[in-house]
Structure 1
Amino acid sequence: MCRHLAFLGEPVALGELLLRPPHSLERQSWEPRTQTSGVVNADGFGVGWWAEDDPVPARYRRAAPIWGDPGFADLARVVRTGALLAAVRGATLPGSDGEAAAAPFAADGWLFSHNGAVPGWPGSLAPLAATLPAPELLALEARTDAAFLWALVLHRLRSGDPPERALAGTVREVAEAAPGARLNLLLTDGSTITATTWGDSLSHLTGPDRTVVASEPYDDDPRWRPVPDRTVLTASRSGVVLTPLEEPSP
């Protein structure tokens, strides 16, 4: 299990969103309030953000817990952005992928994160692997369920699907292949945010200076609204649209 957050709005320091709030993503790494599986998110973290007039997002990822990286705290104090995606990775079985397994994953100007789990991984999704071209499988950043889900989403995006269809289609095919999967996906290109709820919590906040979509609220602002399960969320700087996500066909 993981926690993640995406933001669009007036430029702010990374730390204002990720470190300073009373229930920041940093605190959620060791004391999540709405997480239903696992108790600590200490197997790495990452943040991707856009600089002004640059279409390619920068990323900072580490295999260590976010609370143990003083270099990131210093960077987050001064780096400002109007769009970001950040995540803390749930504690998992030992692996050799290191920071490559930490979201956000990136390609073609997109940032992506997965909050959840896929039962029976990797065997349960072996049939879906056959649907991807070999070069795309070989390009996986890590041997994790999240990295594979990103490959499925990216394949759909490159085939022309809009982001909401790419996420919804991926969720349905994975849920059919691995019943019981938890598939909260988060995707942004720096202008819009698209997300799914499938088995775990998600909330959104829309204000005059920002739109935020997060696994759980980082403060007690009454403008936070929960997103119902089985939903596709599409957000911009001006608002949020919620669409029911259909179950896979029997």
Structure 2
Amino acid sequence: MCRWIAYSGTPVLLSQVLFEPEHSLIDQSLHSRMGVETTNGDGFGVGWYAQETDTPAVLRDVGPAWSNRNLSEVAHHVRSGLFFAHVRASTGTAVQQTNCHPFRNGRWMWMHNGAISGFDRLRRDLALAVDPALYPEIEGSTDSELMFFLALTFGLAEKPPDAVARMAALVEKVGHAHGIRYPLQMTLAVADGERVWAFRYSSEGRSRSLYFSTKVDTLRALHPDAAFLRDISDDTRLVVSEPLGALPGAWNEVPESSFGIIQPGGDMLHTFRPSLQGESARS
């Protein structure tokens, strides 16, 4: 499986999140504590939004994150208020640049941890459901990227939670038709440059780990001497596969079968239910 981070809030150097924390994503790429694999060295990627452009920049490579000099160079010089980072452990598809997360289409970014069970058997049926106009834009061979293009087909640009609900329902429907009891395992993040949606769901009801950070004003009250909390806004949030440190009260588990929205004006948390009609959200 994989490990990932989604950051939204005060613009910071990427290195402050990717390299500096006690259990940073770079540390997780070597020493994951909650993942299926301890090491996530089958490629990495970072994607970030800048004020000057509507579409995100993406840097991806097939080597391990912990030894990549280009990643270190970029992270110590690029500042962003919304970015994704992902370290990959392949579930069977090739280790190649086009299979590294995050994936991008227009202003949208997408990254995933998990798998479609029996993907080699389901791939053709699922690919046929992708909008023919979008299909030529698929570059790699992963289940994660195909999930992204299914969500785009189902209206990601209009209603992201409903599009993801339809994608998940289709994967389960096709999987069950092929005799697969638990077809889908996913924690995923989606962004459009202003908002981040994070989902935690699995057909079995035993999803991979996912956490969100506590509100900054609450953390300041709990830890008034924590210097790094003074320089970030109250609406700064992270969603992570694993907590980045052991600061008491800093991390909260995303509930099973749920999704959250990080956005200006207040975050929201809802239950998540796959549905071919796209009715995913229930407060």
Which stretch shows the higher mean deviation, 165-174 or 138-147? 165-174
Residue of structure 2 aligned with 1:229, choices 249, 256, 266: 256
In 2, Cα distance between equivalents of 1:169 and 1:223: 33
Corresponding position of 1:213 = 239
> In the alignment, is residue 194 of structure 1 matched against residue 197 of structure 2?
yes
Identity across aligned pairs (percent)? 30
Is the 1:122–1:145 contact (alpha carbons within 8 Å) kept by the matching residues of 2?
no
Q: Which has the larger radius of gyration?
A: 2
Displacement of 1:85: 1.0
Corresponding position of 1:173 = 170
Which stretch shows the higher mean deviation, 168-177 or 69-78? 168-177
* Gap change, CA 1:238 and 1:172, over 3 Å in 2: same
Equivalent positions of 1:1-250 (< 5 A) are 1-35=1-35, 37-93=36-92, 95=94, 98-157=96-155, 161-178=158-175, 179-180=181-182, 181-198=184-201, 199-205=207-213, 206-207=215-216, 208=234, 210-221=236-247, 222-246=249-273
Q: Secondary structure at the match of 1:233?
A: strand
Q: Secondary structure at the match of 1:171?
A: helix
Is the 2:91–2:115 contact (alpha carbons within 8 Å) kept by the matching residues of 1?
no
Is the 2:5–2:85 contact (alpha carbons within 8 Å) kept by the matching residues of 1?
yes
Gaps of 5+ in 2: 176-180, 202-206, 217-233, 277-283
In 1, Cα distance between equivalents of 2:260 and 2:101: 19
Is the 1:211–1:239 contact (alpha carbons within 8 Å) kept by the matching residues of 2?
no
In 2, Cα distance between equivalents of 1:32 and 1:177: 32
Gaps of 5+ in 1: none
Which stretch shows the higher mean deviation, 134-143 or 98-107? 134-143
Question: TM-score with structure 1 length normalisation?
Answer: 0.91
- The residue type equivalent to 1:232 in the other structure is F
Q: What is the total number of aligned residue pairs between the two structures?
A: 246
Over 6 Å off, 4+ runs: none
Displacement of 1:40: 1.7
In 1, Cα distance between equivalents of 2:235 and 2:76: 19
RMSD: 1.9
* Gap change, CA 1:163 and 1:247, over 3 Å in 2: closer
